[in-house]
Amino acid sequence: MGEKQNEPFQLSFNPALKVDFQGARVTSDGGLILVRELDERLGLGELMAKHLSDSRRGKNTQLPLADLLRQSVYSRIAGYEDVNDAERLSQDPTFRLIGSEKIWDRGAALTSRLQTFETEMLAEKENFVSLARINRDLIAKVEAIDAQQRIVLDMDSTEIPVYGQQENSAYNGHFESTCYHPLMLFNREGDCLSAKLRPGNVHSADDWDELLLPEIERQQKLGREVVFRADAAFAKPEIYEALEERGVKYAIRIPANENLERDIAELLTRPVGRPSYKPVVWYKSFLYQAASWKTARRVVAKVEF
């Protein structure tokens, strides 16, 4: 049994490769081989062929589109933040062998070719939309392996600082920076199900329905219960109503105000006596209706000393 565990195992995406552990022969990016194997077993290649279109002609097609996309993605996984390292990585054994047979000998893409791929080919409207489809279909394959009947969705925005006059960038007072302000939707495992790049000065909840509602519909068609979580930026009556119409349970933080504090006044008095080494936490559940709400909703207050 021990001998079998120490034997190298076969890879399905490239039968000529075997993973083994020998101290005398190592590569700094060898871990990408295992990522490539997962990529193969989840069918990423088929998804790329299905969704992405290649508008190149003639000699420009010497490097397959799938190889270019893999090189772009895998270099980021390995910690190379931009295409400046492509010149060296083009001859790296790992980056050559994770691609198709066409680049095993000739090498991966150089900096100029990879840059053109990222800024022109992927930026085409059709491919831009297709990348989102590939991402969602890939996660769906993983979900099918470990199917759950209760899906928890989390929505949040983030900051992408920019420098210079980047198109659609704007100053955001909350982040105190010139930035983009993308919106993202995650599952509880941390997988990004969908995202939208937005100007830096939009509200955190802008375009929430474009991302959230299609995902709710997708999950409910599969017979799954959907639960939604978000912070106070998404405390909007239209979001509550959309979730309630679809039977989605939710937990959304709401900003404090005088009316809420009046309803929990008895919890706001600090306990008498020497503080304990453990925090004192009190909860209160009650019905509350803000002026902009059409109906009362259950609110849970948490006070901690």
Question: pLDDT under 70 in the chain at which residues?
Answer: 1-10, 16-27, 57-60, 275
Q: Return the pLDDT at 6.
A: 57
Global pTM reads: 0.81
Catalogue the long-range contacts made by 121-130 (C-beta closer than 8 Å, 24 or more residues apart).
121/54, 121/55, 121/56, 121/65, 121/68, 122/69, 122/72, 124/53, 124/55, 126/53, 127/52, 127/53, 130/51, 130/52, 130/53
* 193: helix, strand or coil: strand
* Alpha-carbon distances, residue 218 vs 34, 140, 224 (angstroms): 30, 10, 9
Task: Tell me what pLDDT residue 60 has.
Answer: 60
Please report the pLDDT score of residue 151 as a whole number: 95
d(CA 53, CA 66): 10
Residue 216 near residue 155, CB atoms below 8 Å: no
Residue 247 tokens read as: 């039977």
Angle (nearest 5°) at CA 149 between 148 and 154: 80
Bridge partners (DSSP) of residue 298 are 287
How many degrees, rounded to 5, is the angle at CA 74 between CA 25 and CA 14?
60
pLDDT, residue 1, reads: 37
**pLDDT confidence of residue 8:** 60
Amino acid at 208: W
Q: What is the pLDDT of residues 101-118, one digit of tens each?
A: 888 888 888 898 899 888
State how far the Cα of 180 lies from the Cα of 64, in Å rounded to an integer. 32
